[in-house]
Structure 1
């Protein structure tokens, strides 16, 4: 599973709404999203993150916009791989991501936007998990 999570092309292919992930060298990855519709606004945000890899154990994700530039989207989080529970095989993967996006929408729409984005993010997570399991099963 480690080789899957550390390959930007594979991660992009498994993650809905991700157009591409570019390895900028070292531990910097640039994510390009597309096709996100929120309250009639179509979004294609991109963001740059540091992917701090602790082989076979953990990946920490922190925002890393290019110097002198701000990005409208940010992601902070982690992936942790651990031994599975008793009587299970394989590896247990846990993840936590916090996503922030500056949107060109009125402040009054905040609650509706947050609810809509939560549904999008939840759907992405469920689909990523299914895609990851299918990818690993296919060998």
Structure 2
């Protein structure tokens, strides 16, 4: 097994209140509905088990589940780190943050930083190709997440602008 990693960082100014956004992103069922790669999120206190849909790379398809320790600081920050139950070996995990900064009562900056790791039965020399697929998939997932969040908030997505860490700008 080889561990492959990909990180996606994005920032968007969302024309909605921080509380409205927080109510959605801190709800495991809503978060799963908004995120195309996630099938379900099952909370058990501070530990949430994330079940991914099938992900394919270089002829290998996996649908891992993994456990995350969630630290919620309402309504400003959600942080999570991979924490598998004792005695288990989960083949994937994530860590990251959702930071919500109130700009006005009707405007919030949403910063999302996600790193996904997966152990796959592929050789190390395939790292560049696999991580490129992972990055592309995560980017598309982030774009779909933004569209679904706007729809859920009842906002016209044509007005949103997202800035990524790589300097790319995505306009809805």
Relative to the length of structure 1, the TM-score reads 0.91
Gaps of 5+ in 2: 1-20, 156-172
Task: Report the alpha carbon displacement of residue 70 of structure 1 after superposing the two structures with TM.
Answer: 2.1
Distance 1:96 1:16 in 2: 17
Match of 1:70 among 89, 92, 105: 89
* Larger RCO, structure (CA 8 Å, separation 6 or more): 2
Distance 1:6 1:115 in 2: 29
| Residues 1:54 and 2:73 are matched in the alignment | yes
Distance 2:26 2:124 in 1: 37
Match of 2:140 among 114, 117, 123: 123
- Deviations 1:65-107 (CA, angstroms, capped at 9, x unpaired): 00121211111110000023x7x93222111011110011122
More strand by share: 2
Distance 2:62 2:145 in 1: 20
Aligned residue pairs, count:
135
Match for residue 20 of structure 1? Answer: 40
Mapping for residues 85-124 of structure 1, pairs under 5 Å: 89-124=106-141
Task: Report the alpha carbon displacement of residue 46 of structure 1 after superposing the two structures with TM.
Answer: 1.0
Distance 2:89 2:60 in 1: 21
Relative to the length of structure 2, the TM-score reads 0.74
Distance 2:153 2:47 in 1: 25
Match for residue 3 of structure 1? Answer: 23
Match of 2:52 among 28, 33, 44: 33
Structure 1 stretches (4+) deviating beyond 4 angstroms? none
Distance 2:66 2:88 in 1: 11
Tell me the secondary structure at the aligned position of residue 83 of structure 1.
strand
CA-atom RMSD in angstroms = 1.5
Distance 2:101 2:37 in 1: 27
